[in-house]
Amino acid sequence: EPEVTQTPSHQVTQMGQEVILRCVPISNHLYFYWYRQILGQKVEFLVSFYNNEISEKSEIFDDQFSVERPDGSNFTLKIRSTKLEDSAMYFCASTPRGGRNSGANVLTFGAGSRLTVL
């Protein structure tokens, strides 16, 4: 079964450093998402991306965050200057494009990247 692949699985960084989290969505998917989950809290939407631009972003997704699809396969989340409160699991997800009644609007999530900011 096709998978969304995320790397690294765990990254430890110092406060103020830049971090890039990488995702390889499922190959025929066209919508991409980032979510985060702080330990013990809800899964929170960060941003959605389609046709090389941001479709929607949450209040969490401020100027220190950016997303990019640098080539035909990768989808990245960059955190410019990490803070302690950025420590969380970050999940990438993707979904295909299909007809309204096709039932294909299912987000498939990756296993996540755990970010620890010290």
Partner 1 sequence: DAKTTQPPSMDCAEGRAANLPCNHSTISGNEYVYWYRQIHSQGPQYIIHGLKNNETNEMASLIITEDRKSSTLILPHATLRDTAVYYCIVRVLEYGNKLVFGAGTILRVKS
Residues near partner 1 (CB under 8 A) are: 4, 31, 33, 35, 37, 42-45, 48, 50, 55-56, 89, 91, 93, 95, 97-98, 100-101, 103, 105-112
- Least distance CB 104 / partner 1 (angstroms): 8
Min separation Cβ 25 and partner 1, Å: 13
Q: Scanning the structure block, which residue is given the tokens 């999940």?
A: 91
In whole angstroms, the minimum distance from the beta carbon of 16 to partner 1 comes to 26
Q: Rounded CA gap, 51 and 97, in Å?
A: 11
Nearer to partner 1, 17 or 54 (CB): 54
Tell me if 89 sits within 8 A of 36, measured CB to CB. Answer: yes
Q: Which helix (H) or strand (E) holds 103?
A: none
- Furthest-apart CA atoms within the chain: distance in Å: 47
Residue 18 or 32: the one with the smaller Cβ distance to partner 1 is: 32
Nearer to partner 1, 14 or 99 (CB): 99
Per the CB < 8 A criterion, the answer to whether 19 and 82 are in contact is: yes
Instruction: Enumerate the β-bridge partners of residue 115.
Output: 11, 88
In the complex, least distance from residue 97 CB atom to partner 1, rounded to whole angstroms? 5
